[in-house]
Amino acid sequence: MRERKWKDCPSCNSIGTMKLKKNAKETFNIKKYQPITISDIEGYFCSNCGKGIYTIRAKKKIKSLLALEKAKQDSLRVVAADLMDIGYISKKLGVSIQRVYQMMNEGKIDYVFVGKNRFPIKIDDATLNELKKKVRTRKK
């Protein structure tokens, strides 16, 4: 994916109204979670209609922070039986333990905190297989 510099607004078709904003802020309302606000995100915003497009880096930051905030909230309600062993996932996906942690950071695998440690939330075999496909395509 290449970063694109937006000038014209794809929403309202205004010409030259898209301006880079480095400290945008958005509150995400996700079902079953308290609203999560993320600040200092970079994107191009239209001075006419207000619509914005986040940069690739900002999108990654959002994905990662949403996963982290969801994990913190889930930590209060998820029980031990809902957790999955990291070793099991790494074996199933054919990737290293470190890569599994990385996937949690990237928001690809949901997790919770148990004390200071992070544990993946249980995923069914179908979802595991989906993940496995993605891991495989990336290697090529």
* CA distances in angstroms from 108 to 11, 24, 104, 114, listed in the order given: 29, 24, 6, 19
Q: Judged by CB, which is closer to Zn ion: 9, or 100?
A: 9
Q: In angstroms, give the least distance from the CB of 29 to Zn ion.
A: 23
Span from 1-9, 32-40, 78-86, 99-107 in contact with Zn ion (CB under 5 A): 1-9
- CB under 8 Å to 85, separation ≥6 — which residues? none
Residue 19: which residues within 8 A CB-CB, separation 6 or more?
Answer: 44, 45, 47
**Which residues ranging from 39 to 78 are in contact with Zn ion (CB under 5 A)?**
46, 48-49
The minimum distance between CB 10 and Zn ion, in angstroms, equals: 8
Residue of 11, 64, 75, 105 interacting with Zn ion (CB under 5 A): 11
Those residues whose C-beta lies under 8 Å from the C-beta of residue 10, and which sit 6 or more positions away, are 53
In the complex, which residues of this chain contact Zn ion (CB under 5 A)?
A: 9, 11-12, 14, 46, 48-49
